[in-house]
Structure 1
């Protein structure tokens, strides 16, 4: 009776670990996609960056809201337990699009560079 309980508990722990790692990969992919959008990348290029960072099964959606852009990345938890339980994880990152001459605007410290808000 104790051995099946231990195996079940181990399976749940491994599934939770897989979900945690997948969530970290999805968050990093959302940030990477947002950085690419800030540099002026197209939505198709952002999708390629997201798939490279989060895996081929990850999907991305780019939405525009005035001068703000949002990248939402979603993906499923891999593994046997992930296929039994329909876990879909997602993460979003916002970025303000930079103006064409924003890279040369002076900062308060006297240097030049971008003044957009990061994710």
Structure 2
């Protein structure tokens, strides 16, 4: 009588553990995708990064409003017990796009106040 209960409890613990590990993978993939977007990578490159980190079954969505961009990674829990549960996990990360700076190297002249840098030498 106790053996089926122990097996069921073990299955639930393993399913919860698989869901936790999958959620962590999705969060890391969303953060990596957001960092790539901030650097100016394309949505296809972000999708490749997400699939490499979260697994081939994970999907990604990239949204942007001009200044802010987000990456949302979603998918199901993998494994035999995970396929029985209809859980869909997701993680999102937001980033602000970096702007390219076209300025060259800064030259600091001793004894001169530099307004743009807020420095004095």
What is the TM-score with the length of structure 1 in the denominator?
0.84
Residues of 2 paired with 1:23 and 1:88: CA distance? 10
Q: CA RMSD in A?
A: 2.0
- Greater Cα radius of gyration, structure 1 or 2: 2
Which runs of structure 1 show a deviation greater than 3 angstroms over 4 or more consecutive aligned residues? none
Displacement of 1:103 in angstroms is 9.4
What corresponds to 2:53 in structure 1? 53
In terms of fraction of residues, the more helix-rich structure is: 1
What corresponds to 2:33 in structure 1? 33
Displacement of 1:57 in angstroms is 0.4
What is the TM-score with the length of structure 2 in the denominator?
0.83
Where does the alignment leave 5 or more consecutive residues of structure 1 unmatched?
111-119
Displacement of 1:23 in angstroms is 0.2
Distance 1:103 1:57, change over 3 A: farther
Distance 1:102 1:22, change over 3 A: farther
Aligned length in residues: 107
Residue deviations 1:34-89, cap 9 Å, x none?
00000100000000000000001010000012300000000110111211111110
